[in-house]
Amino acid sequence: MKFLKSFFTVTFLCAGLMLTQQSCDDCNNVDCQNGGTCDAGDCSCPTGFTGDECETDLCASVTCLNGGVTAPIATDCGCDCSAATGYEGDDCNTEMRAKFIGTYTVAESCGANSATFAVTNTNSASDITRILMSDFADVFNSPVVITVDGNNLTIPDQEPDGDGFRLTGTGTTTDNGSTFNLSYTVNNTNNNTTFNCTAVFTKQ
């Protein structure tokens, strides 16, 4: 019995050594590149690389413009446009404000009062993140400056006509600029009256 126990112990030890040796031998001739690691003869590749030996850089053929940088994602590579001020899209070459350019029909509500009118948005020549809206609220003679950040709009505090009527607001689009909403406040500093308004803008 003691002999059999020793026999089986030696046998199992030898089998374990053989399996370990086999596992090591599987990776002896495998060269995993770009930070890949070998497991049982196969390369496990880091994000952004593929191939039998992780030799293919998925971002090598991707070009990001205007300050955008490549961003590997699982088995693909795209562009991160967070540093490409004013730009978005697959290659960071589409101006964020482009979707808001054009003429819109506006349905406005200011408390109990409502109105319908048209505005036209054009590009600001001085800032790629801004558009200029003419005929805003069918009241202001000078264009209103609006800042664009992705799908979000901000009306920074301003006095378009220099007549004591100040304006601030925010808005957003959910359909790439075909329509957008704005909530804004008009403050008449001449008599300290305030008007809170909302409006829906629909592209013509």
DSSP-based three-state secondary structure for 25: helix
Mean pLDDT of 115-143: 96
* Sheet strands (E) in 86-136: 87-88, 94-95, 102-110, 113-123, 130-134
From residue 63, alpha-carbon distances to 6, 7, 23, 69, 78 in Å are 66, 65, 40, 8, 9
138: confidence class by pLDDT, cuts 50, 70, 90: confident
Is the pLDDT reported for residue 5 higher than 60?
no
Considering the four listed CATH numbers 3.30.110, 3.40.50, 2.30.30, 2.10.25, the one that applies to the domain covering 34-92 is 2.10.25
Surface-to-core class of residue 164, CB atoms within 10 Å of its CB (0-12 exposed, 13-18 middle, 19+ buried): exposed
Is the pLDDT reported for residue 3 higher than 70?
no
What mean pLDDT, rounded, does the chain reach? 90
Mean pLDDT of 68-86: 93
Cβ partners under 8 Å of residue 147, min gap 6: 129, 130, 153, 154, 155, 156
Residue 20: Cβ within 10 Å count: 10
Domain boundaries, the chain: 34-92, 96-203
Domain spanning 96-203: CATH 2.40.128.420: yes
Looking at per-residue confidence, does 3 or 69 come out higher? 69
- Helix ranges (H only) for the chain are 2-28
Mean pLDDT of 96-118: 97
